[in-house]
Amino acid sequence: MRAVLAYSGGLDTSVILKLMQERLGAEVITVTVDVGQKDDFEAIEEKAHKFGAVEHYTIDAKEEFAEKYVSQAIKANAMYEKAYPLATALARPLIVEKLVEVAKKEGADVIAHGCTGKGNDQVRFNLGIKALAPELEILQPVMEWELSRDWEMDYAKKHGIPVSDKIYSIDENIWGRSIEGGPLEDPFFEPPEEIFEWTSSISSAPDEPEYVTIDFENGVPVALNGEPMDLLTLVTELNEIAGKHGVGRIDHIEDRTVGIKSREIYEAPAAVTLIKAHYDLEKLIFTKWLLEFKDAVDSKWSWLVYNGLWYEPLREALDAFINEAEKAVNGRVKVKLHKGNAIVVGRESDNALYSKEVATYEHFSTFDQKLAKGFIELFGMQSVMAYSSRAKPMGKVPEGSPLAAKSH
């Protein structure tokens, strides 16, 4: 058996690497995809070889992740259950793509990963692999071999695999950091300060606010504080700036695909800031009909991505709609970062539907107020009539209503 293993260098995947050789006599090719997790990739490669990988790939996919996945998430204002910017979920289809590429190149017949049977990532990995390479077998040892943490620790010690005493499960990429497990499993327990790495606490964040401007083109951020830059650089810089001000801490009770409710903590300073800014700009530019309809599209898009349905044609069709709408989303947003808040305080666009001449309460307004009278009458006619109609059985139809009993 020749197998590709998604390898993080952690306890689970190191144990799996050894076990696959021991139990299946597999030749294992390890793959680590760099999507911006702050890891030592050389040390991971060394470990892979030490624990018997016949070949190791470190694939830098940060730019591709930003350009193809993060940019689309911004256009879709992607927030699962109004809270989670989807960092982990978004990276999975890209990681799958890389695993499949290596598997084909290396003539492997199996792809293995370290997901448990309780999370979302197994759904995302497995559906992705099935879509791209249905001929490949999927091996999910933690679930299939029922590996428990205690057993793994024991096995690791025997095989010289380093074990840490970490109590949290963490996943990281440029779009955010996910933290779960340990004492956080009690949803009433306040996240302790020590779990946060990207964000300051509100008390230690600077007392003075900081302003940033973000320029958007076709719905995608293209400049920070007036300086043009690629999305990867922009997101990386904004994670620093907004993180310093304590922006982007999220404490979320989340519905997993498999039905479990879980308590998740996220740090996503750039994601929170950019999506706020982007949505604000849409409100300046879109008609009310487009804005309202796109809200539903956005939430469906997030739902599909969260649930591992990246390859679902509905996702592609929604993307086509989103890309069409986003052609107008060009402009600049000013955001004030202060003590855990990202507050939009200004926006401008050549495509704005906002007009001071129309909106102003001053005398020079071009809006003809008198038209409002007839408009309101027609606009609410049915609702007003229905109100009377509901009163009819009680004999209480308001006088003057078109539904009031005629006296002839």
Q: Based on the shown chain and the rule CB under 6 A, indicate whether residue 169 belongs to the binding site for ligand ARG.
A: yes
Token readout for 352 is 């704005």
Q: Could you tell me where the beta strands, DSSP code E, fall in 142-219?
A: 169-173, 176-180, 210-217
Instruction: Figure out which of the listed residues 8, 32, 72, 178 binds ligand ARG, where binding follows CB under 6 A.
Output: 178
Whether the CB-CB separation of 327 and 319 falls below 8 Å is answered with no
First to last CA, the chain: 92
Instruction: Figure out which of the listed residues 170, 222, 229, 290 binds ligand ARG, where binding follows CB under 6 A.
Output: 170
Q: Based on the shown chain and the rule CB under 6 A, indicate whether residue 126 belongs to the binding site for ligand ARG.
A: no
Of residues 233 through 262, those in contact with ligand ARG by CB under 6 A are 254
Instruction: Figure out which of the listed residues 12, 97, 152, 180 binds ligand ARG, where binding follows CB under 6 A.
Output: 180
Instruction: Figure out which of the listed residues 45, 152, 264, 298 binds ligand ARG, where binding follows CB under 6 A.
Output: 264
**124-140: b or e for each residue (b if 16 or more CB lie within 10 Å)?**
bbbbbbeebbeebebbb
- Nearest approach, Cβ of 292 to ligand ARG (angstroms)? 27
CB closer to ligand ARG out of 45 and 171: 171
Q: Applying CB under 6 A, which part among 125-133, 164-172, 309-317, 373-381 lies near ligand ARG?
A: 164-172
CB closer to ligand ARG out of 123 and 328: 123
- Nearest approach, Cβ of 120 to ligand ARG (angstroms)? 4
Q: Which residues are catalytic?
A: 12, 92, 121, 169
Q: Applying CB under 6 A, which part among 53-61, 165-173, 223-231, 363-371 lies near ligand ARG?
A: 165-173
Question: Half-sphere exposure of residue 345, counting CA atoms within 13 Å on the CB side?
Answer: 13
Of residues 380 through 399, those in contact with ligand ARG by CB under 6 A are none
Cα separations in angstroms, 341 against 30, 54, 190, 212: 41, 48, 19, 13
Q: Applying CB under 6 A, which part among 168-176, 289-297, 357-365, 395-403 lies near ligand ARG?
A: 168-176
Cα separations in angstroms, 343 against 48, 209, 277, 311: 45, 10, 9, 35
Instruction: Figure out which of the listed residues 16, 19, 89, 335 binds ligand ARG, where binding follows CB under 6 A.
Output: 89
Residue listed under structure tokens 């009031």: 404
Q: Based on the shown chain and the rule CB under 6 A, indicate whether residue 37 belongs to the binding site for ligand ARG.
A: no
The Cα 302–Cα 77 span in angstroms is 8
Cα dihedral value 69, 72, 78, 80, nearest 10: -40
Residue listed under structure tokens 């009458």: 377
SS3 for 349-388 is CCCCCCCHHHHCCCCCCCCCCCHHHHHHHHHCHHHHHHHH
- Nearest approach, Cβ of 393 to ligand ARG (angstroms)? 51
- Nearest approach, Cβ of 87 to ligand ARG (angstroms)? 7
Contact residues for ligand ARG, defined by CB under 6 A: 88-89, 120, 169-171, 178, 180, 254, 264
